[in-house]
Amino acid sequence: MNYLNIKDEKLMPTVVELNTLLADYHVYYQNLRNFHWNILGENFFDLHNKFEELYTDAQIKIDEIAERILTLRYHPMSNLKDYLETSSIDEVSSRKTDKEMVSTILGNHGKLLEQLTKVVRKAENAEDEGTIDLIGAYIRELEKSSWMLDAFIQDSSSQLKEPSMNKDS
């Protein structure tokens, strides 16, 4: 029984992109664990807690992505070897400064946002509103986390852009 009312041939591209996203989230998760365990220096307490918060969130998303793939009636990718081969995110060394760790995580966020966008495009083509809704929330949350991490590594003299009040601009 097809309770989704979406043809399989329309869903397959979405499932492929969801599995890639699942692989990306697994490697991202492990990078966060690595940094959580190995952070040193004056920002230890702040970043140790932040990395834990981020990897806990990633763990929840990993489960939700896999369950979405199952909801679409496909098998989620589930082997570490496949994750490492599929992910656009690379495993990283723990031998980084605190700001290098944050910059690395921001780079991971950029790759996750790219993949999230690919999932949304494929889901739109399939008229898969459930996936679009799930992934849209992930995008919003990841953008907010990225803003906060980016603010952390900025020099205190950095300034935000001023909006133009001219409606013609």
pLDDT in tens, 31-81: 999 999 999 999 999 999 999 999 999 999 999 999 999 999 999 999 999
> Nearest 10 degrees: CA dihedral of 143, 145, 149, 150?
20
Confidence category of residue 96, pLDDT binned at 50, 70, 90:
very high
Burial readout 96-123 (b: 16 or more C-beta within 10 A, e: otherwise): bebeebbbbbbebbebbeebbebbbebb
DSSP secondary structure code for residue 2 in this structure: -
Tokens of 57: 């969130």
Residue 29 has pLDDT above 90, yes or no: yes
End-to-end CA distance of the chain: 53
43 burial class (0-12, 13-18, 19+ CB within 10 angstroms)?
A: middle
pTM to 2 decimal places = 0.92
What the chain holds in terms of domains, given with CATH numbers, is 8-152 (1.20.1260.10)
Looking at residue 19, its amino acid is N
Residues 39 and 34: their CA atoms lie apart, in Å, by 8
> What are the distances in angstroms from CA 128 to CA 77, 119, 169?
20, 10, 36
Confidence category of residue 165, pLDDT binned at 50, 70, 90:
confident
140-161 average pLDDT score: 91
DSSP secondary structure code for residue 74 in this structure: S
The mean of the pLDDT values for the chain is 94
Q: What is the pLDDT of residue 46?
A: 97
